[in-house]
């Protein structure tokens, strides 16, 4: 009876081992959730691309702002011809008649005597260079609206970056807590394995001494084998979960201990530092759905889409309006008489033939503007619906967690009662082991439900902007 009491007490202590133990094996590297968040923001390619989109949008805004300033250009031109491009004789000036032909004959006769040519030739070679400046004064509002559209593009890129970061963090935390849950179960099973090994030795000695039956030893041995099988499966699942997490944050690791070093730790030696703690209830995190939806970056993007269509329509209207500009130029020409000259000028451009085309374009953009407004109204209501769904999932996960905690308490009471029955000879070792196994399963279910609630809490708080830590 003393041996049976010892076995029962040992099993009770064994299966009451909490899955929330804070003990941690010596490891070469520990990672917290916050560290993983920072690594993900630095190493995730999609986050980096979203950041580059923000930089590109800011550069586009600078390009649009440059339209306010005058445009300056410098040009140069030179040529050399095989024959002069301009040759002028007397008949070219006076016309083809008897008088001009007589003068031409006289010049042809006497010009060589004085070293003159009977004809004037020019434009065999020459060059010219000039600089010009053009300042637009009015372009139908296209410059102003173009700058507004570029500023809107910067805001849109920043909102896209925030949305991508939020989605990335949600996926990261799901992967992180999945690995933590397996890590917590692994700690519990390892402690249980050590105690079962010790229990097996004690029961084996008791059987050899004839104070315990061999079936009790066989029950303990079966429990130990089942536990080893579960540890093997858990180790494989934990490694896969860690691989998924580390690949997403850019953490190097080695799957073979012999190939590990200081820069690539062995995957089993990388420990996740956070533990499962108490979390706030759904009531503590609740925010009105309409208020949350109105402040989301998705809502801002919907509004910016409407505004961008409105600006595009205004820019299309500007194509049908006059454009006014002033300019100045100065240059030097060596083609004819070789001198410098400058000029001031004003330009007014009034499109006439494009009015019909512009009218159709504005009509098309008007339809697109109406579509953007319809999308804003519909998708805004969908965002409110999404927030309600997230809160519903949060409350359901909370209820499941409370049920899991109640099951742990009931399983603990059942295991204690089964221990008393075993001590009194009213139950067998098999029944006691089954009760303890159910207690262990209840603890594992509580871990799973805690992770499920943690993920639901993360999804909700990331949308509301509150922290669930």
Q: For residue 15, what pLDDT is reported?
A: 38
pLDDT top residue among 403 and 200: 403
Pair (137, 182) in one structural domain: yes
pLDDT, tens digit, for every residue of 159-191?
999 999 998 988 998 999 989 888 888 877 776
Q: What are residue 344's phi and psi, to 5 degrees?
A: -115, 145
Is residue 304 included in any domain, yes or no?
A: yes
Residue reference for tokens 């899955």? 19
Asked if residue 184 is part of any domain, the answer here is: yes
Residue 205 belongs to domain spanning: 2-85+123-464
* One domain, residues 12 and 138: yes
Q: How many domains does the chain have?
A: 2
Counting residues of the chain whose pLDDT is more than 90, the rounded percentage is: 32
Question: Is 134 within the bounds of a domain?
Answer: yes
| Domain identity same for 342 and 429 | yes
The CATH number of the domain where 330 resides is what? 1.20.1600.10
- One domain for residues 177 and 108: no
Cα dist from 424 to 26, 401, 463, whole Å: 43, 35, 57
pLDDT at residue 2 above 80? no
Would you state the pLDDT for residue 203?
Answer: 65
Same domain for 248 and 189: yes
Residue 195 maps to a domain:
yes
Q: What is the pLDDT of residues 343-376, one digit of tens each?
A: 998 989 888 877 888 888 889 999 999 999 999 9
Band (20; pLDDT cuts 50, 70, 90): very low
Distance, in Å, from the CA atom of 302 to the CA atom of 84, rounded to the nearest integer, reads 67
- Quick check: pTM over 0.85? no
pLDDT of residue 274: 79
Instruction: Give pLDDT tens digits for 237-262.
Output: 999 999 999 998 888 989 888 888 88
Mean pLDDT of the chain: 83
Residues 247 and 297 grouped into a single domain? yes
Confidence of residue 211 (pLDDT cuts 50, 70, 90): low
Say if residue 51 is in the same domain as residue 100. no
- Say yes or no: 110 and 221 in one domain: no
* 130 shares a domain with 115: no
The answer on 138 and 97 residing in a single domain is: no
pLDDT value at position 149?
Answer: 92
Task: Please identify, among 101, 122, 143, the residue that sits at the C-terminal boundary of a domain.
Answer: 122
Residue 469 counted as domain residue: no
420-439 residue pLDDT tens: 776 676 777 677 778 777 88
Residues 205-214 have a mean pLDDT of 72
Residues 16 and 157 placed together within one structural domain of the fold: yes
pLDDT of the residue at 206: 64
Q: Kindly state whether residue 151 falls inside one of the protein's structural domains.
A: yes
58 domain residue, yes or no: yes
For CA atoms 98, 104, 105, 107, give the dihedral sign.
Answer: positive
Q: Are residues 199 and 325 in the same domain?
A: yes
Domain end among 122, 145, 171: 122
- Over residues 71-88, the pLDDT tens digits come to 999 999 998 888 887 778
Q: Is residue 53 part of a domain?
A: yes
């Amino acid at each position: 009876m003393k041996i049976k009491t010892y076995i029962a007490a040992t099993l009770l202590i064994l299966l009451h081992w909490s899955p929330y133990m804070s003990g941690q094996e010596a490891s070469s590297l520990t990672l917290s959730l916050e560290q993983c968040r920072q690594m993900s923001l630095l190493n995730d390619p999609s986050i980096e691309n979203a950041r580059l989109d923000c930089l590109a949008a800011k550069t586009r805004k600078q390009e649009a702002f440059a339209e306010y300033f005058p445009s300056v250009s410098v040009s140069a031109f030179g040529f050399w011809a095989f024959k002069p491009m301009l040759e002028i004789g007397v008949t070219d000036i006076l016309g083809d008649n008897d008088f001009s032909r007589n003068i031409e004959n006289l010049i042809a006769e006497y010009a060589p005597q004085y070293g003159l040519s009977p004809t004037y030739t020019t434009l065999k070679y020459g060059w010219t260079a000039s600089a010009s400046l053009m300042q637009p004064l009015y372009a139908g509002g296209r410059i102003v609206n173009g700058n507004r559209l570029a500023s809107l593009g910067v805001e849109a890129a920043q909102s896209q970056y925030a949305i991508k970061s939020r989605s990335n963090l949600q996926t990261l935390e799901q992967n992180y807590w999945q690995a933590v849950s397996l890590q917590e179960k692994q700690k519990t099973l390892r402690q249980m394995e050590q105690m079962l090994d010790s229990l097996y030795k004690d029961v084996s000695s008791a059987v050899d001494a004839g104070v315990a039956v061999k079936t009790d030893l066989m029950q303990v041995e079966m429990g130990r084998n089942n536990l080893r099988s579960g540890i093997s499966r858990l180790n494989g699942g934990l490694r896969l979960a860690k691989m998924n997490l580390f690949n997403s944050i850019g953490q190097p690791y080695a799957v073979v201990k012999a190939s590990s070093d200081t820069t690539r730790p062995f995957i089993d030696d990388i420990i996740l530092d956070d533990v499962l703690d108490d979390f706030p209830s759904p009531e503590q995190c609740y925010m009105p759905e309409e208020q949350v939806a109105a402040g989301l970056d998705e809502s801002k993007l919907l509004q910016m889409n409407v505004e961008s269509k409105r600006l595009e329509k205004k820019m299309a209207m500007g194509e049908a309006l006059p454009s006014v500009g002033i300019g100045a130029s100065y240059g030097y020409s060596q083609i004819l008489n070789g001198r410098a000259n400058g000029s001031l000028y004003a330009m007014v451009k009034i499109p006439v033939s494009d009015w019909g085309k512009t009218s159709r374009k504005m009509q098309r953009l008007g339809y697109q503007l109406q579509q953007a407004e319809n999308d804003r109204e519909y998708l805004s209501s969908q965002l409110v619906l999404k927030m309600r769904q997230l809160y519903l999932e949060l409350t359901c996960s909370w209820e499941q967690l409370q049920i899991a905690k109640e099951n742990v308490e009931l399983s603990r009471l059942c295991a204690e009662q089964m221990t008393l029955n075993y001590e009194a000879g009213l139950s067998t070792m098999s029944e006691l082991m089954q009760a303890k196994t159910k207690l262990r399963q209840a603890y594992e279910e509580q871990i799973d439900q805690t992770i499920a609630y943690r993920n639901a809490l993360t999804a909700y708080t990331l949308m509301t902007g509150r922290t669930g830590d």
